[in-house]
Amino acid sequence: DIQMTQSPSSLSASVGDRVTITCQASQDISNYLNWYQQKPGKAPKLLIYDASNLETGVPSRFSGSGSGTDFTFTISSLQPEDIATYYCQQYDNLPLQLTFGGGTKVEIK
């Protein structure tokens, strides 16, 4: 089974700061890595798919990069509405297996 290690588990940053979250896979997953934002009491929302593709309607301050085992999610300029927990999620097509990272809680300093 593929394991996903997401770090940090939490961070505190100021409005306007650049925020970076990493996700490491236990084996090569190509670019099969997605990122979600979850606000309290809400279902997760897809932000980035296949490592670097911005979902329609998602602000351009969100971005993703990486391939193989190491991936990065970036908020270029943190906004108050970005306070949430962010999750990475990998997928393996054959056989179908999906795994989430442990999550990163982003707070305003």
Partner 1 sequence: QLQLQESGPGLVKPSETLSLTCTVSGGSISSSSYYWGWIRQPPGKGLEWIGSIYYSGSTYYNPSLKSRVTISVDTSKNQFSLKLSSVTAADTAVYYCARHTPYRNWFDPWGQGTLVTVSS
**Residues of this chain that bind partner 1 (CB under 8 A):** 1, 32, 34, 36, 38, 42-46, 49-50, 55, 87, 89, 91, 93, 95-103
In 1-109, which ranges are continuous DSSP H helix?
none
Report residue 7: phi and psi, to 5°: -150, 150
Nearer to partner 1, 77 or 97 (CB): 97
Rg of the chain on CA atoms, in Å: 13
Min separation Cβ 98 and partner 1, Å: 4
CB of 16 to partner 1, least distance (A): 28
Q: Measured from the CB atom, is 98 or 108 closer to partner 1?
A: 98
Q: Among residues 17 and 52, whose Cβ is nearest to partner 1?
A: 52
Beta strand 104-108 pairing with 84-92: antiparallel
In angstroms, the CA 97 to CA 101 distance is: 13
